[in-house]
Amino acid sequence: MSRRTVSPGDLGRRIAHHRKRLGLSREELAERAGMAPGFVEYVEEAAASITEEALLRLAAALETTTDDLLGADMDRPPGQGPATAHPVLHALDPEECMRLIEPGGVGRVAFSGPCGPTVLPVNFKVYKGAIVFRTQYGGPMEEAVRTGLEGVELTIGFEVDHIDEVNREGWSVLVQGPAHRVSADELEEAAGTGVEPWAGGARETYIRIAPHTISGRRISSF
C-alpha cells in the first residue's frame, strides 16, 4: 500500500458527519477502522494530511468512498456509479415513507410556476405529520401558493431521495398535497420547528404541505 499522503481539505468535517450519521462514537469508529481513538480525534480536528491507507480504512468503516470523504464528487450529480448487478424495486407503504423523511433535511418541491413546471430544493422539517419549509415572499413558490381565492390551496409535489453510492441502493419518497402559507396564528408553531431556509437570506414565509398522497420506492439488490 502506498504511503503517500493525500490533502484532506475538509476531510475532518466529512468524517465527523459520516460518523454521526452512523451513530458511532470516535472509539467505535476507531475499532471499525483498526485505529487508535486518538488518531480519529486527530484526523477530525487537526490533520493536515493522512496516508492513503488510513483514508481507505476510514472510508470502509464509514460505509462511504474515499472520493466522498475528500469532497471529490461534490460537484457531480449523485448516482454516477453502475447499478447493482440484480436491482430489485420495492414499493414503500406510507408509514415507512414518513419514517424515512421524519429526520428532515433537503427535499424538492414541484409546482406550476410563472414560466412552467418548476422544481426547487428546500430545507424541510416534518411537524405533526406535515412538511414545513421557508421561502421568500414574492418568490415563485410563494406566488404559486397565493391563489387569491378563499379556501383554495395549491396542490404540489414534494420529493426526498437518498442514494447509497457504496451499496448501490437508494430510496425515493413522493408526497402530494395542498400547500398554504402559514398564517399569523400558526407562525409561532411553525417557527418552533427550527427549519432553516436552503438558500439563506430573508426567507421568512413558512409553507406547510398537508400530505394527502404518500408513495415511495426502494431499490436494493437480492
Give the separation between CA 182 and CA 191, rounded to whole angstroms: 10
pTM more than 0.75:
no
Q: Return per-residue pLDDT of the chain as tens, 222 residues.
A: 444 455 555 888 889 988 988 899 999 999 999 999 999 999 998 876 788 899 999 999 998 888 888 876 665 656 666 666 677 889 999 999 999 999 898 999 998 877 788 898 899 999 888 999 988 877 777 777 775 545 556 788 999 998 876 667 889 999 999 988 887 787 888 888 888 877 767 787 888 899 999 999 998 876
CA distances from 100 to 55, 92, 129, 196 (A): 30, 10, 13, 20
Give the H or E element holding residue 57.
helix 52-61
Collapsing DSSP states into helix, strand and coil, what is residue 16? helix
What is the set of domains in the chain, with CATH numbers?
A: 5-70 (1.10.260.40), 87-221 (2.30.110.10)
Sequence-ordered alpha helix ranges (H) in 62-130: 66-70, 94-101
